[in-house]
Copies of this chain bind each other. A is one copy, B any other.
C-alpha cells in the first residue's frame, strides 16, 4: 500500500517502541510499517524480543521485534514509534538512543520534547556525526490571509470524535484509492507520523498557536496545484485537551467537505474516561457549524475503524450507521475506500463549477 510518490530515499529503519508495542500507543510504528514497510527492518522492544510485528501490532508481518540493535544489521535509522500524551521520551530510553547514536544511526523523533535539545544526546550526535531529526520542530510564523486560494482545488478534511481513531490512515487510504483511479490527489500531512510517511507536511500541534491557522493555510496554498487535497485531521474540536489544534486546522484548511472517522465500540474519550465521546450526529453538527464560520462545509462520508470486531459485526454496524446518518460508511482497511471516494467525487461536482460542467457534458 506504499503508493506515495514523494521521493524519500530508502532507509533501513529500526522502530523504537520499547515497553509500548501495542497498536494504539505505537500508532507511529504501525503507520510506518503499513505505509513505509519496505524500509522497516525491525521493531525494538527488549521485553517482546523474538516475536514479530504482525503478532503484536497487526501489521508488519514477519518484521522481527529485537532487543539489541546489533541484531539489526545495516540499520541506519532509529525512528521513535510511539506518541505518548505530552510527547516526552521515557527516561529509560536514553541508553537505547545513545547506543543507536554510537552505531552511527540517524535518530528520527516526533516527540514534543526535542531529542536534539537534550545535551547528552546532542553531544553524542556531534561526536559520532549523526543527525537527530525532530520532526515536530518548526518555526511557523505566518498568519492566514484567505488570499490566493484556488477555487477548483477540492479540499477534504478527515475529522473525528476522538484522538487515535484513524484520521491519518483514512486520509492516506482515500488518497491512495483516488490515485489508483488516476486522480491527482495529495495527502496533506499535519502530524509527525503523517510527515514521516509522506515526506512533507507541518506538525501543527507543535506550532505556536497564533500561527496555526496560517501554517495550515500555507500547506493548502503550497499543495493546491493538485486537483484534490485530502487533509489529515487532528483530534477533534470537542476534545477537552486539543480543541485548539482541531479548530485552527478546520479554519485554516477551509474544507469543502469532511469525512468523519470513528472507532466502533469506543464510548469514552481516550485517556479521559469516564468522559463520553460525543455521538456521531453531535460531532457532525459541531463540525459543520464550526467549519461554516469560515465557509460552508459538510460531512460527506463516514470512515469506521472496526479493528476490534468481526466482519459480520462490522458489516451490521456499517449498514446501521449508514441508515442512521444517510451517508456512505466504510472501514478503509476492511471495506476499501470506494464508497468514500465516490462521495468525494459527488461533492466535487456540487461545489466546483468547472467539475460540475465537466460531469454534465463529459
**A interface vs B, CB < 8 Å?**
85-88, 112-113, 141-146, 204-210, 212-214, 237-238, 240-245, 247-249, 251-252, 272, 275, 278, 286, 289-290, 293-294
Closest to A245 in B: B209
- Of the candidates B209, B241, B275, the one whose C-beta lies within 8 Å of that of A244 is B209
- Of the candidates B112, B141, B144, B272, the one whose C-beta lies within 8 Å of that of A241 is B144
- Of the candidates B144, B145, B146, B207, the one whose C-beta lies within 8 Å of that of A208 is B207
Q: Known A208-B208, A289-B289; judge A243-B248 contact (CB<8 A).
A: yes
A208 in contact with B209 (CB, 8 Å):
yes
- Of the candidates B207, B214, B238, B251, the one whose C-beta lies within 8 Å of that of A293 is B238
Residues in B whose Cβ lies below 8 Å from that of A294: 240, 243
Q: Which are the 9 A-B pairs with shortest beta-carbon distances? A: A244-B248, A247-B247, A205-B210, A212-B244, A209-B209, A143-B241, A243-B251, A144-B241, A238-B293
* Cα-based distance from A252 to B240 in the complex (angstroms): 7
Closest to A247 in B: B247
Q: How far is the CB of A252 from chain B (nearest CB, A)?
A: 8
Residues in B whose Cβ lies below 8 Å from that of A209: 204-209, 212, 244-245, 248
Q: Assembly of this chain: how many copies?
A: 2
- Contact sample, A vs B, 25 pairs, CB 8 Å cutoff: A112-B141, A112-B208, A143-B242, A144-B241, A205-B210, A207-B208, A207-B209, A209-B212, A209-B244, A209-B248, A210-B241, A210-B242, A210-B244, A212-B244, A213-B241, A213-B243, A213-B244, A214-B241, A237-B247, A238-B293, A240-B251, A244-B244, A244-B247, A247-B247, A286-B289
A206 in contact with B206 (CB, 8 Å):
no
Q: How far is the CB of A345 from chain B (nearest CB, A)?
A: 28
* Cα-based distance from A146 to B214 in the complex (angstroms): 29
* Cα-based distance from A272 to B141 in the complex (angstroms): 18
Closest to A87 in B: B210
* Cα-based distance from A285 to B88 in the complex (angstroms): 38
Q: How far is the CB of A111 from chain B (nearest CB, A)?
A: 11
Residues in B whose Cβ lies below 8 Å from that of A144: 240-241
Closest to A208 in B: B206
Residues in B whose Cβ lies below 8 Å from that of A88: 141
A248 in contact with B247 (CB, 8 Å):
yes
* Cα-based distance from A212 to B208 in the complex (angstroms): 9
Q: How far is the CB of A194 from chain B (nearest CB, A)?
A: 15
Q: How far is the CB of A236 from chain B (nearest CB, A)?
A: 9
- Of the candidates B141, B207, B212, B213, the one whose C-beta lies within 8 Å of that of A86 is B141
Residues in B whose Cβ lies below 8 Å from that of A204: 209
Residues in B whose Cβ lies below 8 Å from that of A212: 209, 244
Q: How far is the CB of A285 from chain B (nearest CB, A)?
A: 9
Q: How far is the CB of A297 from chain B (nearest CB, A)?
A: 14
Residues in B whose Cβ lies below 8 Å from that of A252: 244
Residues in B whose Cβ lies below 8 Å from that of A207: 208-209
Residues in B whose Cβ lies below 8 Å from that of A86: 141-143
A146 in contact with B206 (CB, 8 Å):
no
* Cα-based distance from A23 to B217 in the complex (angstroms): 30
* Cα-based distance from A94 to B320 in the complex (angstroms): 65
